Amino acid sequence: MARVTPAAPVADVVGGRTAKALRDGLGIETVEDLLRHYPRRYIDPGDLTDLDALATGEHATVLAEVKSVNTRRMQQRKGTITEVVVSDGRGRLTLVFFNQAWRAQRQLQVGRRGLFAGTVSAYGGTRQLAHPRFVLLPADSDLEPDSEAQAAFADLLIPIYPATAGLPSWKIQQAMRLALDAVDAIADPLPADVRAAEGFMSLDEALRQIHRPVDQEAIEAARARLRFDEAFGLQVVLAQRRALLEGQSARPRVATKDGLLAAFDAQRPFPLTGAQERVGVEIAADLETDHPMHRLLQGDVGAGKTLVALRAMLQVVDAGGQAALLAPTEVLAQQHVRTLRAFLGPMAETGLLAGSGPCTRIAFLSGSQGVRERREELLATASGEAGIVVGTHALLEDAVDFAELGLVVVDEQHRFGVEQRAVLGTPDRDGQRPHTLVMTATPIPRTVAMTVFGDLEVSVLDEYPPDRGVIATHVVAPREKPAHLARAWTRVREEVEAGRKVFVVCPRIGDEVDDAPSDAEAPTMSSVLEVADELRDRYLTGLRIGILHGRMASEEKDDAMRRFTADSADEGAIDVLVATTVIEVGVDVPEASTMVILDADRFGISQLHQLRGRIARGGGDGLCLLVTAADVDSPARERLSAVAATTDGFELARVDLQARREGDVLGTAQSGRRSSLRLLEVVRDEDIVERARVAATSLIEHDPTLADHLLLRDQVAALSEDDRSDFLEKG
């Protein structure tokens, strides 16, 4: 066969039908794509597959032995059904064929072994494969074994590939064999010294061994090499980005002795936690250098990130710069304004109201504010009168002009895209860039942080302010225990009578146009509008009930939050706020003690954790009720039980991670793109990521543009092109 390069279309080595199936089913276009489709596992032709380990719904390929073949006429319909029982010696699996008696009898003789592929289903308690595809191990009596069987069983270890219905594993194996025989030696982009230091085989060897291993050891060696490659590629991209950042400049913002920060610290209502103190020092030092700070501040819900951000902003304002605080929702942005004004008191008064000490104006910009107000705030921003500018993504519009932007704080980073972050990071006329501080409550395992946010320094707030209450969380399942929901509402009433506030969270608003049930049987989800009415009329009569959701106007939202935050004794105060997840991030109402989440199974683990973080923030204890109609042993119920079992955000993140693949963590699942990570599992492979990071950093130090490593340069360029935004820097 003619030689081909890795870039050649896969149709150059396999037939047109197979090429089409590879493309349609697996997205494989080139020979290289094919070679990068790695086996999931391997079977030794001597070892039968453990049939008990098969899960229903799984697309499985098993090696098993035929135990019995039984054909009968069907009762309801015309035709025959053939049931072939195969076994691994212990477990059994039934293969079902319709109207294929001749084939089963001729080919599937008792005692023959073969590979069987199909989707596992359960029928009357037994697991089965309906219409599986199969190849049989050549028997001694086969005078002319078919080539497919010969190819499948020729290898010492049979690779089992992630397959599709149209393309069983052994067909992929066959295609691989053709590709490996035809392809030129594959050039190795990994620098020779790194390869030598790690003791790796060449890329060519690794690809050959992973598909046609000589033994188990070779598989491990090949995997180790290819796993490292994945980590290394990413780390080179990140090392390049760090090098780029180091070349950028920013104005140093040196702390002053008698500015806003000093005045604020002198009158601050509570001492800093140890963690706030430590992180504060790290940030203060970053701000004083002439490179832009790029720091990720990670701290669980309620750890006190806002205060850390405020102190950083004050340092910058003291040094003549402005600070922008970016929030993902308008509700949160409005709250930040209220919080900052409350924290600063007279220091946030300017003009005639200003006292004698240092002060600055806090401006607020949002997409839905009135024209006149917006113009005023824009002016205060452009003139520099406002030291602190708070806003939603509206802050990112071209129309917003800062006098001298010195610091950008992004709250709840996981809600923002990279491009948005980048807009604020652009240099000013003198080529100076603002410092950036990115805050998130999503606990990120160290290696994921290293992979996803590898161009950021990381600070962790791992301590809570002292007066945080304890939150008890319970799952309430009215379908099983109808009285419990009524008890929940009684409890809500008691809390309100004791002067506390209650959130009721619903998965939808209820004013959707296409709300008419298209499927009468689909269970409808609770909605803010309906639930608020129902509570007012029936369950919580006499209590003051407000609503909050994303489609309310800006002033309405602000008004609802104000009234919910107001003292219960005030006229117009709200006791119970029925809301969507707009309150999910950051909302801080100290009197809120209780949260009832309806249809809680509609929310993910981290979302529930965020929601729950809204209560028990003012010293007292909290109660969170997760109301659900999900079945007792459904995965959804397991999620709820996990949330009820702990309030430790890191523990919940671990549970969450176990349930999802890393692709999700890295954002690839959402984007629907193929991840460049096939073998590497970022959490498990911490030491590989670490080694790759060291090697990549040292490489970029010596060869920043990869001029001496052209193959690697191309590979890395493709990688950062492909996966850029939401993969490397999670949006």
Binding footprint of ligand ADP on the chain (CB under 6 A)? 270, 272-273, 276, 299, 301-307, 441, 465, 467, 586, 588, 590, 617
> Which among ligand ADP, Mg ion, none contacts residue 272 (Cβ within 5 to 8 A by kind)?
ligand ADP
> Which among Mg ion, ligand ADP, none contacts residue 360 (Cβ within 5 to 8 A by kind)?
none
> CA-to-CA distance for 449 and 234, rounded, in angstroms?
12
> Which among Mg ion, ligand ADP, none contacts residue 294 (Cβ within 5 to 8 A by kind)?
none
Name the residue nearer to Mg ion (CB basis): 178 or 325: 325
Name the residue nearer to ligand ADP (CB basis): 415 or 617: 617
Task: Mark out the alpha helices in 115-158 (DSSP H runs).
Answer: 147-154
Q: CB of residue 304 vs ligand ADP: minimum separation in angstroms?
A: 3
Residue 342 CB neighbours (<10 A): 10
For residue 163, which amino acid is it? A
Task: Mark out the alpha helices in 99-202 (DSSP H runs).
Answer: 101-107, 147-154, 169-182, 192-198
Nearest to 410 by CA among 380, 448, 371, 438: 438
- 602 CA to centre of own chain: 17
Q: CB of residue 276 vs ligand ADP: minimum separation in angstroms?
A: 6
CA atoms within 13 A on the CB side of 710: 1
Name the residue nearer to ligand ADP (CB basis): 294 or 305: 305
Q: CB of residue 573 vs ligand ADP: minimum separation in angstroms?
A: 19
> Which among Mg ion, ligand ADP, none contacts residue 554 (Cβ within 5 to 8 A by kind)?
none
Nearest to 80 by CA among 92, 64, 69, 65: 69
> Which among Mg ion, ligand ADP, none contacts residue 213 (Cβ within 5 to 8 A by kind)?
none
Name the residue nearer to ligand ADP (CB basis): 275 or 477: 275
Q: CB of residue 411 vs Mg ion: minimum separation in angstroms?
A: 6
Name the residue nearer to ligand ADP (CB basis): 311 or 691: 311
> Which among Mg ion, ligand ADP, none contacts residue 320 (Cβ within 5 to 8 A by kind)?
none
Name the residue nearer to Mg ion (CB basis): 223 or 311: 311
Q: Tokens standing for 342?
A: 């409350």
Name the residue nearer to Mg ion (CB basis): 172 or 439: 439
> Which among Mg ion, ligand ADP, none contacts residue 643 (Cβ within 5 to 8 A by kind)?
none
Q: CB of residue 467 vs ligand ADP: minimum separation in angstroms?
A: 6
Q: CB of residue 412 vs ligand ADP: minimum separation in angstroms?
A: 8
> CA-to-CA distance for 232 and 210, rounded, in angstroms?
19
> Which among Mg ion, ligand ADP, none contacts residue 304 (Cβ within 5 to 8 A by kind)?
ligand ADP
Q: CB of residue 434 vs ligand ADP: minimum separation in angstroms?
A: 21
320 within 8 A of 360, measured Cβ to Cβ:
no
For residue 532, which amino acid is it? A
Name the residue nearer to ligand ADP (CB basis): 304 or 622: 304
331 within 8 A of 366, measured Cβ to Cβ:
no
Name the residue nearer to Mg ion (CB basis): 160 or 296: 296
Q: How many residues does the chain have?
A: 731
Q: CB of residue 305 vs Mg ion: minimum separation in angstroms?
A: 5
> Which among ligand ADP, Mg ion, none contacts residue 321 (Cβ within 5 to 8 A by kind)?
none
Q: Tokens standing for 506?
A: 């619903």
> CA-to-CA distance for 10 and 13, rounded, in angstroms?
6
> Which among ligand ADP, Mg ion, none contacts residue 465 (Cβ within 5 to 8 A by kind)?
ligand ADP
Q: CB of residue 414 vs Mg ion: minimum separation in angstroms?
A: 12
Is residue 693 classed exposed, middle or buried when 0-12, 13-18 and 19+ CB atoms within 10 A define those classes? buried
> CA-to-CA distance for 676 and 642, rounded, in angstroms?
31
> CA-to-CA distance for 496 and 316, rounded, in angstroms?
42
What value does the CA radius of gyration of the chain take, rounded to a whole number of Å?
31
Q: CB of residue 454 vs ligand ADP: minimum separation in angstroms?
A: 23
403 within 8 A of 378, measured Cβ to Cβ:
no
Q: CB of residue 469 vs ligand ADP: minimum separation in angstroms?
A: 11
> Which among ligand ADP, Mg ion, none contacts residue 307 (Cβ within 5 to 8 A by kind)?
ligand ADP
> CA-to-CA distance for 302 and 221, rounded, in angstroms?
46
- Phi, psi (rounded to 5 degrees) for 449: -60, -40
Name the residue nearer to ligand ADP (CB basis): 565 or 580: 565
> CA-to-CA distance for 276 and 265, rounded, in angstroms?
13
User: How are the residues of the chain apportioned to helix, strand and coil, as percentages rounded to the nearest 5?
Assistant: 45, 20, 40
460 within 8 A of 451, measured Cβ to Cβ:
no
- Residue partners of 34: CB distance under 8 A and separation at least 6: 10, 22, 28, 175, 176, 179
- Residue partners of 561: CB distance under 8 A and separation at least 6: 331, 334, 335, 548, 587
Q: CB of residue 548 vs ligand ADP: minimum separation in angstroms?
A: 18
Q: CB of residue 539 vs Mg ion: minimum separation in angstroms?
A: 31
393 within 8 A of 420, measured Cβ to Cβ:
yes
Nearest to 260 by CA among 223, 190, 311: 311
> Which among ligand ADP, Mg ion, none contacts residue 299 (Cβ within 5 to 8 A by kind)?
ligand ADP
> CA-to-CA distance for 95 and 118, rounded, in angstroms?
9
Q: CB of residue 664 vs ligand ADP: minimum separation in angstroms?
A: 23
Task: Mark out the alpha helices in 428-582 (DSSP H runs).
Answer: 446-452, 483-497, 528-534, 554-565
Name the residue nearer to ligand ADP (CB basis): 391 or 649: 649
> Which among ligand ADP, Mg ion, none contacts residue 4 (Cβ within 5 to 8 A by kind)?
none
Name the residue nearer to ligand ADP (CB basis): 63 or 461: 461
> Which among ligand ADP, Mg ion, none contacts residue 588 (Cβ within 5 to 8 A by kind)?
ligand ADP
> Which among Mg ion, ligand ADP, none contacts residue 617 (Cβ within 5 to 8 A by kind)?
ligand ADP
Name the residue nearer to ligand ADP (CB basis): 307 or 535: 307
CA atoms within 13 A on the CB side of 540: 29
493 within 8 A of 567, measured Cβ to Cβ:
no
- Residue partners of 105: CB distance under 8 A and separation at least 6: 69, 71, 82
Name the residue nearer to Mg ion (CB basis): 351 or 466: 466
Give the neighbor-by-neighbor strand order of the sheet with 545-548: 471-476, 622-627, 592-597, 501-505, 576-579, 545-548
> CA-to-CA distance for 41 and 592, rounded, in angstroms?
52
- 700 CA to centre of own chain: 29
Name the residue nearer to ligand ADP (CB basis): 85 or 325: 325
Question: Under the rule (CB under 5 A), what is the footprint of Mg ion?
Answer: 586
> Which among ligand ADP, Mg ion, none contacts residue 273 (Cβ within 5 to 8 A by kind)?
ligand ADP
Name the residue nearer to ligand ADP (CB basis): 192 or 281: 281
